[in-house]
Amino acid sequence: MSVNKDFFRPGRDFNYDFQAAGEPPMGWPEADRLPESLVPTHCCFCGVQCGMYLRLSEGRVTGVEPRDFPHNRGSLCPKGVVAYQQVNHPDRLTHPLIRRGRGPGTAGRLERATWDEALDYVVGRWRDLQATHGRDAVAVYSGSSMTNEKCYLMGKFARVGLGTRHIDYNGRLCMSSAAVAYAKAFGLDRALLPMTDIPLTDCLLVVGSNIAETFPIAMIWLWRARDNGARLIVLDPRETATARTADLWLPVRPGTDIAVLNAMLRQIIHDGLIDEPYIDGRTVGWEAVRAAVEPYTPQEAERIAGVPAERVVAAARLYGRAPRSLILHARGLEHSTHGVNGCLACVNLALARGQVGKPGSGTMMLTGQGNGQGGREVGQKANQLPGYRHIDIPEHRQYIADVWGIPVEELPWEGAAATEMVGLMAAGQIKSALIICSNLMVSLPENAVVQRALQSLDPLVVMDFFMSETAELADVVLPGSVWCEDEGTTTNMEGRVVKINLAAEPPGEARRDWEIICDLSRRLGRGQHFPYRSARAIWDELRQASRGGVSDYFGITWEKIDAQGGVFWPCPAEDHPGTPRLFAERFAHPDGRARFFPVEHAPPAEEPGGDYPFRLTTGRVVYHYLSGNQTRRLGFLNGQAPEPWVEIHPQAAARLGIQNHDRVRVRTPRGAMEVQALVTPTIRPDALFIPFHYGHEQAVNQLTNPAVDPTVKIPEYKVCAATVERLPSPPAPLPEGEGRRPSPPAPLPRGEGRPRVNFTAANAPKMFPYATGESRSPAEEEGKVY
C-alpha cells in the first residue's frame, strides 16, 4: 500500500499539487545545469544491483541516468531512481560523536568529538576490556549492504585486529536458511542461474516472495517468461502485486509452506511426472523423500495450510508437466523456525523433476541485500573464512592464516551467530560491540530485549552514515560513507560480481569505512596487517584469500568486470570467464551428486490460540529498503509510505468492528503497537500483515517472535500469534462519499488465554550439540562444505 491518491477533494482535483510528492532534501538546485560526466555504477539497494549512471555536475552528484546493464536493461525501481539523493543529504553524519555525561539514571548525550578522541577512546576501552575479560569480550556485528572489500575487511578486522571469535553479520536475518539448504543439497550456496535465464522457463513457482515489490527489476525477466507462455504459480498469504495476475495463487497460511510443497511433490509422484533417470544418475536419498511426502495428500495440505486441495493439485500439475520449471523463493519461506527445511522442500521438488543444472530451470534463491551474496562468502560469518572456507577445517584455517600472515593458533574459532550475540550481550559476556551497516533496533525480533542488550554495552560503537535507531543508543558514532563515496565490488543475487565506482567524497569529516577500520587497527597495534592504501589493495588480497575456495574470486579483476558486464564466481583463473550456470554436469559435493533431504511440516514456534487468534506476518514495501534508515529519509520514497499499517481482511475486520483507516492496536505476547488499518481482501482472513521498515514505536519487531531456526538461527519474522483491536479515537474527517461511520462496537472480552507455544528460542531443539563457538568432531562436518 502507499498513500492513496485515488480520491480528489473538490478544489484539489484540478489544482494538482506538483510539489506534494516530496522534494529531495537538498532541493533541485542543479535542475538546469548540464551534466558534465556520467559515472557507471550500480544501485546501492537490493540484491539485484541494477546498473545505473550517476550524473556529476561540477563534481557533485546531481542525478541518475539509465545504464543498459545485462540484467536490468536500463530499468530502475523508485528506490534506484532516488538513491543518489543520499549523497548530499542534510541528515548525513559529518563528524564523530561521543556520548558524554552518561551515569546512573542518565543516558547522557551524543556530542561532537574529533576522530582522534573517538578512536582513542574506543581503542582504549577495547584494550582494557580484552585485557580484563578476554579477547571475546568485544564483538563485531557487520552487514551485507556494502562492498565485498568492506565485508572481507570486517572479518579480518575482527579476527586479526581484535582477535575476537564473535563476528557475524545481518545476513543471518536474511537468507541464511537458504544458504544452508543449498550447501546441504548441492554442496554450494549460490543462485544456480543468472536472471537472464528466467525467460527460458515454462513454469515459474514463486514461494514466499513478493518479487514485484522486493525485486521489482526481476519482474522484467518474469514478464519476458510469461510473454513466452510460461505459467506463474505464487504461494503467498497475501494476494500481492506478484500474485494478482498469476495463473494460480495458493493462499497459504503463514508458516505452513512445507505442507503444500510436500503435497505437490506427492502429487507429482502419483502422476508419474518424476524424472527417474535424473534421480538415479545425479542424486542421492530419493527413497526417503518419496516415503516422507506420502502422507501429504492434497486434503492434508488443505487442512494444514488452508490452500484448497484442488489448487494444490492444479499447481502440482502445472509445475510437474512443464518441461522446464523454475522455483523462486525468498524470505516468506526462509524467515522461519524451519526455514532450512522449507528451502529443502523446494529443492526436493526441483530435483525430483530433474530440473537442476539445466538452463532456465531449477531453483533460485532471491538474496535480499545489496551484497547479500558476497557478504556471506568473504568471511564475516561466525563460522566462515574468506572464499566460503570453514573456520573448523584445519587446512582452511592454515591457508587463511598464511594469507593474513599470522600464526594459525592466533586465528579465533567460531563465534556466536548474530541472533545469539544479543543474548551474550545481555548476559554480559560481550562487553562492547562494533556495529556497522546494521540497524538492530529495527531489524531484530523482540526489540525491547535488543535495546536492553545494546544498552548494557560499554562502549557500543556504531559506524553509519545516517543516525539510525541503533546509532541513537551508541556511545560512539563514527560517520562513514555511502556507497558511491567509495569503490569496490558487490556480488548480486545471481552470483554476478559487479563494480561500484566512486562518484563523490564523503561529506565533512566523514571517512570511507575501510579507512576507519584500518585506522582502528593501527591504533590497536595491528597496523602491519592492514596496510591498504586503496580499496583495490583489499580486493587483491580478497582474491588471494578466496583462491581455491568454494567461492573462488581469484580470476575476477576489476578490468574483467568492466569488460564482461560482471563476472560470475567461481572464477579460478584470470583467463576463466566465470560460471553463470552451475551444476551442468556435477554438483559440488565430492561425489558430484545432489542430496535429497526428507522434510516434514512442523508448526511455527507460536500458533494462534487463546486471546491471539491471528497469524501476524511481516514484510516489505517497494519504497523502503531493510530498516528504512536510508529510504525513510528520501522524500519521494517516504512520501509514498510514511508509516506502517496493518492489513486485515474485511471478514475479520467486520467481526472486530474495524473500518478502513481506523487506528488499531496489534498485540502479541511480547508487546503492542498502534497502526492504521487497511481493510482489504488481498490477505487471508486469519492473517495480519505489517511492513517492518520503521523505527521506534512504529517497529513491528516490537511484536515478532525471537524464536530461531535451530540450524542457522534465522528468526521467525513471518509468523507469530497476534490480535488486533480497534482504538477508540475521535472520528477523523472523512473524505467525501465514504459514508457515515457506525458507532464503535463493545470492546473485546479479555481472557487469560495464551497462544499455543510450540517452541521458543530457549527450548528450541538444538541441531548442533555444542555450545556457541565450540568446534566439532569430524563426523559433524558432513554437509558442511559451505
Partner 1 sequence: MPVKTLFVDPSRCIGCRACEAACRECDSHKGESMVMVDFVDRATSVATQPTVCMHCEDPVAPCAQVCPVMAILITPDGVVQQAETSRCIACRNCVYACPFGVPKMDAEARLMKKCNLCYDRTSRGLQPWCAQACPTQALWYGDYEEFVNQRRGRAVRHTVFGAQEVRTRVCHVLPEEQSRLDVVALLKEAQLAAAEANLGFAPREEAWVL
Query: What is the helix (H) or strand (E) element at residue 146, kind and residue range?
Result: none
For residue 56, the cross-strand partners are: 37, 61
Residues 346-385 close enough to bind partner 1 by CB under 8 A = none
Answer for which of 41, 75, 470, 630 binds partner 1 (CB under 8 A) is: 75
Cα dist from 272 to 109, 233, 267, 756, whole Å: 68, 21, 9, 39
DSSP string for 285-311: -HHHHHHHHTT--HHHHHHHH---HHH
**Which of 307, 571 has the CB closer to partner 1?**
307
| Binding of residue 46 to partner 1 (CB under 8 A) | no
Using CA atoms, how far apart are residues 169 and 153, in angstroms rounded to an integer? 13
The burial of 316, by beta-carbon neighbours within 10 Å (0-12 exposed, 13-18 middle, 19 or more buried), is given as buried
Q: Residue 208: what are its φ and ψ, rounded to 5°?
A: 60, 40
Using CA atoms, how far apart are residues 89 and 637, in angstroms rounded to an integer? 14
| Binding of residue 638 to partner 1 (CB under 8 A) | no
State the DSSP code for 259. H
Binding residues for partner 1, how many (CB under 8 A)?
63
Q: Which stretch binds partner 1 (CB under 8 A): 240-248, 388-396, 558-566, 720-728?
A: 240-248
Answer for which of 51, 194, 251, 445 binds partner 1 (CB under 8 A) is: 251
Q: What is the dihedral of CA 464, 466, 468, 474, to 10 degrees?
A: 50
Answer for which of 190, 226, 353, 713 binds partner 1 (CB under 8 A) is: 226
Nearest-approach distance from CB 482 to partner 1, in angstroms: 18
Answer for which of 212, 261, 344, 567 binds partner 1 (CB under 8 A) is: 212
Q: Which residues, 6 or more positions from 57, have their beta carbon under 8 angstroms from its beta carbon?
A: 30, 33, 34, 35, 36
Residues 278-317 close enough to bind partner 1 by CB under 8 A = 302, 306-308
Answer for which of 161, 194, 216, 342 binds partner 1 (CB under 8 A) is: 216
Q: Residue 627: what are its φ and ψ, rounded to 5°?
A: -75, 0
| Binding of residue 691 to partner 1 (CB under 8 A) | no
Helix, strand, coil % in the chain, rounded to nearest 5: 35, 20, 50
DSSP string for 503-515: --PPSTT---HHH
Residues 733-762 close enough to bind partner 1 by CB under 8 A = none
Buried b (16+ CB within 10 A) or exposed e, 278-305: bbeebbebbeebbebbeebbbebbbebb
DSSP string for 653-698: HHHHT--TT-EEEEEETTEEEEEEEEE-TTB-TTEEEEE----GGG
Answer for which of 76, 225, 258, 437 binds partner 1 (CB under 8 A) is: 76
| Binding of residue 58 to partner 1 (CB under 8 A) | no
| Binding of residue 61 to partner 1 (CB under 8 A) | no
| Binding of residue 89 to partner 1 (CB under 8 A) | no
Q: What is the 3-state secondary structure (H, E, C) of 9-48?
A: CCCCCCCCCCCCCCCCCCCCCCCCCCCCEEEEEECCCCCC
| Binding of residue 413 to partner 1 (CB under 8 A) | no
| Binding of residue 242 to partner 1 (CB under 8 A) | yes
Nearest-approach distance from CB 299 to partner 1, in angstroms: 11
Residues 593-622 close enough to bind partner 1 by CB under 8 A = 622
Nearest-approach distance from CB 247 to partner 1, in angstroms: 13
| Binding of residue 18 to partner 1 (CB under 8 A) | yes
CA-based diameter of the chain, in Å?
A: 76
Answer for which of 684, 693, 713, 726 binds partner 1 (CB under 8 A) is: 684
**Which of 76, 138 has the CB closer to partner 1?**
76
First and final C-alpha spacing in the chain: 39
Nearest-approach distance from CB 484 to partner 1, in angstroms: 16
Query: What is the helix (H) or strand (E) element at residue 481, kind and residue range?
Result: none
Nearest-approach distance from CB 22 to partner 1, in angstroms: 9
For residue 161, the cross-strand partners are: none
Nearest-approach distance from CB 330 to partner 1, in angstroms: 16
| Binding of residue 86 to partner 1 (CB under 8 A) | no
The burial of 644, by beta-carbon neighbours within 10 Å (0-12 exposed, 13-18 middle, 19 or more buried), is given as buried
| Binding of residue 217 to partner 1 (CB under 8 A) | yes
**Which of 211, 707 has the CB closer to partner 1?**
211
| Binding of residue 655 to partner 1 (CB under 8 A) | no
Using CA atoms, how far apart are residues 786 and 769, in angstroms rounded to an integer? 19
Q: Pick from 60, 61, 64: which is nearest to 51 by CA?
A: 64
| Binding of residue 78 to partner 1 (CB under 8 A) | yes
**Which of 75, 348 has the CB closer to partner 1?**
75
What track of x and - describes contact with partner 1 for positions 149 through 178 (by CB under 8 A)? ------------------------------
**Which of 5, 100 has the CB closer to partner 1?**
5
Q: Which stretch binds partner 1 (CB under 8 A): 62-70, 89-97, 350-358, 392-400?
A: 62-70
**Which of 24, 96 has the CB closer to partner 1?**
24
Q: What is the dihedral of CA 446, 452, 455, 457, to 10 degrees?
A: -100
| Binding of residue 80 to partner 1 (CB under 8 A) | yes
Q: Which stretch binds partner 1 (CB under 8 A): 221-229, 316-324, 352-360, 544-552?
A: 221-229
**Which of 2, 763 has the CB closer to partner 1?**
2
How is residue 706 written as a grid cell?
Answer: 525471537
Q: Which stretch binds partner 1 (CB under 8 A): 4-12, 88-96, 255-263, 550-558?
A: 4-12
| Binding of residue 651 to partner 1 (CB under 8 A) | yes
| Binding of residue 660 to partner 1 (CB under 8 A) | yes
Q: Is it true that the peptide bond before 744 is cis, omega within 30 degrees of 0?
A: no
Using CA atoms, how far apart are residues 364 and 522, in angstroms rounded to an integer? 42
Using CA atoms, how far apart are residues 659 and 594, in angstroms rounded to an integer? 51
| Binding of residue 38 to partner 1 (CB under 8 A) | no
Answer for which of 636, 710, 744, 776 binds partner 1 (CB under 8 A) is: 636
Q: Which residues bind partner 1 (CB under 8 A)?
A: 1-2, 4-6, 14-19, 21, 23-24, 28, 31-32, 63-64, 66, 74-78, 80-82, 212-213, 216-217, 219-220, 223, 226-227, 239-242, 244-245, 251, 302, 306-308, 622-623, 636-637, 640, 651, 660, 678-682, 684-686
